[in-house]
Structure 1
Amino acid sequence: MELLTIGAFARESRLSPKALRLYDDLGLLPPARVDPASGYRFYRPDQLERARLVAWLRRLGMPLARIRTVCDLDPAAAADEVTAYWAQVRADIAARERLATFLVDHLSGRTTAMSDATTPLTVRFAARSHPGLVRQGNQDSVHAGHRLVAVADGAGDRGGLASAAAIDALKPFDAELPAGNLLNALEQAVQHADGELRSLLESDPSLEGLGTTLTAMLWSGSQLALVHIGDTRAYLLRDGELFRITHDHTHVQSLVDEGRLTPEEAASHPQRALLIRALFGNGAPQADLSLHEARPGDRYLLCSDGLSAVAAETELHTVLTSIADPEEAAQHLVDLANGHGGPDNIACAVADVIATPSSEG
């Protein structure tokens, strides 16, 4: 049987030579022969059917690991797998559509009617932290106070110092709200936290690599200010739907944003925890800052990746919708992470927005 060069095979299969080399490296579509001298790849004509199937499945957006499974199945089972995958895609699109509707309503101000200045709101907080089941120490820090809820995940040999310093910079807001703009105050607090890390690094060179993520919310009336940097997360449960309202500052998330990875591929990527933005004491923190309008009945979850990396959002949704008490919900979330093996430190905070009972009557 005459073999096809990689160029001819690429033309026939409508896969680029670069893609063919990748699929060879992954064991998905190995060539029939590799020239020992030049390393040039050659393919059998009967490999075209598998190559075309791979191309079609990639056009569907199917992750490579799942494509390998489909290609190794008999036709009937492969059809069932594609059907199951497409059902999942449709469910994901529906969830994203709900998120888009929420964002449009939120940004256009349509969600503010229930929480205007005449509606007194209070917030019930609960926080939990646990080292997990694998690591000896705990580098996560969490705080839930009168007005402030915050989660930080430290990095480096003594990352607990960094995460604690980040939250300590915000704690004064619990005692007294800052005058003026909430976002400006949070930005200044983050810069102060970054300065504290720089001082620690300058005083002790052995702390090289010290850093921390930070996600925090500060309440004032019906408004809440959100500051976020790194891969700790904030979620909002509103009207029974769970929305993630922060964006991970990781290398893998940037690849997803660029369309170079699917979310499914990102979840198992070996560099998924590599941060591209965090507090490193370098004098240039780039935190996301946003102002939100709270509504009675809202429930917020802030957590480190010790929870979000191991528990599916469907599991988070189940806990947050089925357990009314914030203290119990926070503990169940820690137990959920440990139930998945507890491979990392865990920190989470649950905050419920409730209407203050009227004193009239």
Structure 2
Amino acid sequence: MELLTIGAFARAARLTARALRLYDETGLLAPAAVDPDSGYRFYAPAQVARARLIAGLRRVGMPLTEIKAVASLPPAEVAAAVAAYWQAETARTETRARQVALLLSDLSRGDTTMSEITMRYATRCETGAVRDTNQDATFASADVLAVADGGGGPAGAAASAAAVGALSGSASLATLAATIDEIDRAWRGKAITTLTAIVRQGAQLALVHIGDTRAYLLRAGELSQLTHDHTWVQQQVDHGRLAATEAAAHPQRALLVRALGGGPQPVEADLALRTALPGDRYLLCSDGLSAVVGRTALHTTLTGNTDPDAAAQALLDLAFEAGAPDNIACVVADVVTA
């Protein structure tokens, strides 16, 4: 049997070599042979059909973990599995639409009981010790806190800047979901970016999150992670396939399953409504900080520095002490009485 080079196979399957490498790394489509000296991948012509099926399932937004199961089914069962997936997705979308409508209705009413609060904040955004360019971006004001982490080549920096810029320029609780959709559409097929942001109206906070940037809350001495990473590794942990300790050092820990601009279908961001209390401290950060500085160190630093600027600088210093292998972005913000 004559094997195809990865380039020839990519053309036959109408995929990119990058996509094929991803499918190999995640166990979806292993090459038929690998050169032991060069590591070059070769594929069998019979694998073209499976590659096209995987690509088709990706286009409809199916997660990689589900694709692995569906693509292994007998051909007669694949259509039924896809129909079941789409029915479930439709139901989830309708449920989320109702939740968003209720959230925006609550937000639009505002809060008259604790309107006399504001935010004191500080930001840091550094290239780090290893990377040549910085694709992270931050923004902070009394009403908006945002951190984004771009990817997908040089355009990633522009995508992250555009994401925080869209919120900084026209952030509105009533139009927050629409703003996120606009960012997603604008960068679809060009670059991807994660985004974690807080938009304030009075004492009400809307937290929006997509990707692996994070938000933490320090309240009454307790540090809580408010966001859930949208990564392949986190999915494995959620399904019991990986332990949290294994995930922290996994080679695919940065592989995203959701990001703005990351797919042919509109992306779903996590939206949550919170109430701000004086004394709260929020930390928003990219994985350039959270991946190298542990939770205990985050807690100690946030509790040990009363000024947001001092806390942000101390966190940055910790990332550099850990080698700063990635870009580092963080926002530290305190809720205070006006």
Contact preservation (8 Å) 1:195, 1:283: no
1:339 corresponds in structure 2 to 321
Amino acid at match of 2:175: A
2:150 corresponds in structure 1 to 154
Determine whether 1:124 maps to 2:105. Answer: no
Contact preservation (8 Å) 1:300, 1:351: yes
Partner Cα distance (1:235, 1:216) in 2: 11
Instruction: Write the mapping of 1:283-322 to structure 2, written as runs, cut at 5 A.
Output: 283-322=265-304
- Aligned residue for 1:227, secondary structure, equals strand
1:264 corresponds in structure 2 to 245
Determine whether 1:232 maps to 2:213. Answer: yes
Task: Say which one has the larger Rg.
Answer: 1
Determine whether 1:136 maps to 2:126. Answer: no
Runs of 4+ deviating beyond 2 Å: none
Amino acid at match of 1:131: T
Contact preservation (8 Å) 1:300, 1:350: yes
1:93 corresponds in structure 2 to none
Partner Cα distance (1:144, 1:351) in 2: 8
Partner Cα distance (2:114, 2:240) in 1: 45
Contact preservation (8 Å) 1:190, 1:285: no
Please list the CA deviations of residues 121-161 of structure 1 after superposition, one character each: whole Å capped at 9, or x if unmatched.
11111111000000011000000123101000000111101
Considering only aligned residues, what root-mean-square deviation do their CA atoms show, in Å? 1.5
Contact preservation (8 Å) 2:114, 2:202: no
Determine whether 1:172 maps to 2:169. Answer: yes
How many pairs are equivalent? 226
Please list the CA deviations of residues 9-45 of structure 1 after superposition, one character each: whole Å capped at 9, or x if unmatched.
xxxxxxxxxxxxxxxxxxxxxxxxxxxxxxxxxxxxx
Amino acid at match of 1:248: D
* Compared CA separation, residues 126 and 211, structure 1 to 2 (3 A): same
Q: Which runs of 5+ in 2 are unaligned?
A: 1-110
If the length of structure 2 is used for normalisation, what is the TM-score?
0.65
Please list the CA deviations of residues 262-316 of structure 1 after superposition, one character each: whole Å capped at 9, or x if unmatched.
1101101111000000012645121000100010100000000000000000000
1:44 corresponds in structure 2 to none
- Aligned residue for 1:185, secondary structure, equals helix
Amino acid at match of 2:221: G
Instruction: Write the mapping of 1:204-283 to structure 2, written as runs, cut at 5 A.
Output: 207=190, 210-280=191-261, 282-283=264-265
* Compared CA separation, residues 139 and 118, structure 1 to 2 (3 A): closer
Partner Cα distance (2:246, 2:292) in 1: 15
Determine whether 1:197 maps to 2:187. Answer: yes
Task: Return the match for 2:178 from 178, 181, 188.
Answer: 188
Partner Cα distance (2:221, 2:142) in 1: 25
Task: Return the match for 1:349 from 326, 331, 338.
Answer: 331
Q: Which runs of 5+ in 1 are unaligned?
A: 1-114, 202-206, 357-361
Contact preservation (8 Å) 2:207, 2:272: yes
Partner Cα distance (1:294, 1:225) in 2: 10
